Structures are given as C-alpha cells and as structure tokens.
Amino acid sequence: MNEIFESIIAFLFSVAGFFFVTLPEKAYECIHFQETISAHHIEKKISSFALLGNGTQFSLSECTDFDWDRVYIFLPYTPPDLIEGRIGKKFERSGLIEGSDTINFLVFLKANEVVRSSKVRRSFGDFSQKLGAQCFFWTNAIFEIKRPNSNSWIYIVKGG
C-alpha cells in the first residue's frame, strides 16, 4: 500500500513540475510572439511612410497598435546597463542589441511600466541620426523620413 501511495505522490509531483516549467515558458512564448507581431507591424508602417518619400512626417503612435505614453529609442550596440538606466528598471530583454548592428530597439512604457519592446530592423528605418537613447512622449514622437533617392538608406529623424 505504501508503494502505491509513493507512486501516486511521485506522479502528482511530476505533473505539477510539468506545469510549473511549461506554463511560464508558454506564457513567455506568447509574449514574445506578441512582440514579434508588433515589431513587424511597426516596421511595416514605417516602411509605408518611407514609400511616400523624402520629407514624409509621421507619428510613432500611427505605427503602434497598443497604448503607451513614452518610448525610448536605442541604437545598435547599446549596452544593457544604459537601457536599464534610461528606463529606470531591470529589463530582461535589454541585452538584445548590444552585439547587433542591424536593429534599433524601441521600449514603450505606460505609467512607468514597460508595455512592449520592439526590435526594428535598420533596413526598415534607421533612427541613428541623433535619436539614440532618447525618450519621446506619445504627443511628440513625430519623425521624418530622410531618403534622398530610392537607392539610399532610410533615415528617420525628429520631425514636427
């Protein structure tokens, strides 16, 4: 009888362990999937403004499908401690661009809480023209496309 009881307890612990390990991982995958969708949405919207040509102005709020009140724009190679220092808290995804030359990293906040972060490939729009590690409020996140010709890099500068 004791052996059966031990087998049942072992089984219950293994099932509980499965849920404690798998569910947080699945929740992270859902969050990551949502960030990926948002990143593609943001890139697609920026790209659509770039197609309108040099001098086109747009608000970053037109490129997002979620609520936010501030955004920080970080350029390639930004170290995690700078990102965390700017947003004012530890942030698990802050190391994503430290070793990459190909992406900008946007961190969106609402009421001082990170609501979304998004990698935006520089080929869709390069924020590197004096915009790095800056904070923009929802009301003044207005940018301008700088693209002298269709073969040149798409730069995004502060507009408004």
Instruction: Lowest mean pLDDT of 1-5, 62-66, 72-76, 155-159, name the range.
Output: 1-5
Domain ranges of the chain: 2-158
**What is the structure's pLDDT at 133?**
79
Q: How does DSSP assign 82-120, residue by residue?
A: HHHHHHTS--TTTTSSTT-SSEEEEEEEETTEEEEEEEE
- Which residue type sits at 25? E
Are 108 and 114 in contact, with CB atoms under 8 Å apart?
Answer: yes
Under DSSP, the state recorded for 122 is: G
Mean pLDDT of 58-86: 91
3-class DSSP state for residue 135? strand
What's the predicted TM-score (pTM) here? 0.72
**What is the structure's pLDDT at 24?**
43
